[in-house]
Amino acid sequence: MTEFDMLQELAEGVKSQNSAWRFIRKFAENWAAPLRDDDGWGEGDLDLAEKRLGVPLPGALREAYQLLGRRSDLTSNHDVLLSPAQLHLDDRGKALVFRHENQGSASWGVLITDLRHPDPAVFIRANLAEREAERWDPWLSRLSLAFIEIVLSESLHAPEELCDFLGELDDAAIDRLQRNYTRLPFPEYPICQESGGTRWFTGPDVLLRDDERAVLWVRARANEALDQARNMIPGEWLND
């Protein structure tokens, strides 16, 4: 295992498409298992998807799928990264859909008009009501950023003994979070349409995600680090 400084590595990782893939490789090596050559989909699988869909796949999407598309532990512990055979256009032909929320309440995609951009923006659509079905709202400004988010978020749903969830954040808990952990240099983004923002924090061997200043997800690399986070931010932790 190599030395991995979450703050420093993510600050580099958000800079470009290629740096995002380097971050994901290092994160996988240090927080999961190293990526291997057969962890991604092949060119042929992606070419078949393009032929079936009749639209090009953005370069960043192809590269991400080739890098880690088969690694469900990095992409699909909770929400689901679609396989090349499952990629589809939404019902109005506005976006190429590549990810679904685990209960089908939201989808992530790239607008059809942006598909020839090498690293296009990602949009999100809530699948809760007919009136919302037409609307894709901005989520993250680049696909490569979206895959960093996917890997980080799916790590929060890794083995239960290393993860926990605090369902009610009060002002005191938010203050403790902000004083005792370091905000990560990742852009704040909405959970879904018309929702508040998500922020990421880190500390020694621990990764934390604050959703809307209301709930907190934690993933640790060791039980001791998870216990320290629980003690630092007291509350009704789900797995404690």
Q: What is the per-residue pLDDT for 193?
A: 56
Ranges of each domain in the chain? 6-147, 156-232
Q: pLDDT per residue over 91-149, tens digit each?
A: 999 999 999 999 888 999 999 999 999 999 999 998 765 555 568 999 999 999 999 99
| Contact by Cβ (8 Å): 144, 110 | no
Residue 185 reports pLDDT greater than 80 = yes
φ/ψ region of 124 (left if φ > 0, alpha if ψ in -120 to 50, else beta) reads: beta
Q: What is the per-residue pLDDT for 160?
A: 79
Assign domain 156-232 to a CATH class: alpha beta
- Around 88, how many Cα atoms within 13 Å sit in the side-chain half-sphere? 7
Q: What is the per-residue pLDDT for 142?
A: 98
- Burial grade of 13 (CB within 10 A; 0-12, 13-18, 19 or more): buried
Average pLDDT on 73-88 reads 98
| Contact by Cβ (8 Å): 55, 90 | no
How far is CA 7 from each of CA 31, 76, 120, 187, rounded to the nearest angstrom?
14, 24, 25, 13
> pTM for the whole thing?
0.95
Strand, helix or coil for residue 189: strand
CATH number of 6-147: 3.40.1580.10
State the SS3 of 201-233.
Answer: EEECCEEEEEECCCEEEEEECCHHHHHHHHHHC
Residue 1 reports pLDDT greater than 50 = no
How far is CA 12 from each of CA 83, 106, 194, rounded to the nearest angstrom?
28, 29, 29
Lowest mean pLDDT among 1-10, 176-185, 190-199: 190-199
Q: pLDDT per residue over 12-37, tens digit each?
A: 999 999 999 999 999 999 999 999 99
| Contact by Cβ (8 Å): 30, 2 | yes
| Residue that wins the pLDDT comparison between 10 and 191 | 10
